[in-house]
Each structure stands twice: as C-alpha cells, then as structure tokens.
Amino acid sequence: MKNKILYFAVLVLSLSFCISCKEGVAQEEETIEMVTPDEAEKLSKMKDVKLLDVRTKEEFNEGHIANAQNLVYDENFSEKIGKLDKEKPVIVYCKSGGRSEKCAQILKDSGFVKVYDIKGGITEWKFEGKNTEK
C-alpha cells in the first residue's frame, strides 16, 4: 500500500512538473510568430513596428516591401540589431523564409519582445500580389 501511495505521489509531481515546463516553452515560443503577407501588411502599418529585410543588398535593391530596412543576415547580424529598440515589435523577412527564420531566432534570443516572421518571405508576398518598391 505504501508503495502505491509513493508511486502515485511521484506520478503527480512528475506530471505537474511537465505541465509547468510546457507552459514555459509555450510562452517562450510566442515571442516569434509566423504571419501571412496579409497579416504582415496590417502589422507594418502600426506605429512603432520595424520591418527588416535580411536579404543581400543586391536582392533588396531588386525590390523590397515599402518602409523595410535592409539588415543583411551575416556574421555581424547580432551586432547590427543592437541598434534597434528591443521593446518594439519587429517583422522580418527574406526571399522564402530560411534566413528570416534564423534571424527571428537571433532577435528573440537577443531579447526582442515580439518578432514576426513572414511565412514564405518576399516570394509569397509577391505571389499574393502585394506591392514592392525599389
């Protein structure tokens, strides 16, 4: 009988620990949110939202989303973002999503409160008929 009580107590403690761990992970993951081009377009019009294009200068000059700042993803990316306000939301994009996913993680790890990543990058943005500028 004592073994059953001990087993039950350990089981309850283990489950409560697992639940609290998952809640912590969920809160951490909420810092980065994948958004559609439509959602990104609406967000980019809000005050204090920074739009970052992490493609190369050449790619940026071929066409980018209006009001985007070009912050090339390279070995110095962490230093470049040090000049940005971490308390303001950031929308990040690249060509199709690979680089922006890495950059979004770097932004989150650097303490940015809210990071949005455009699903499919500028390729999806253009596919949906959204405007770009040079």
Question: Which residues participate in catalysis according to the annotation?
Answer: 94
**What string of DSSP letters covers 34-47?**
EE-HHHHHHHHTST
CA distance 28 to 32: 8
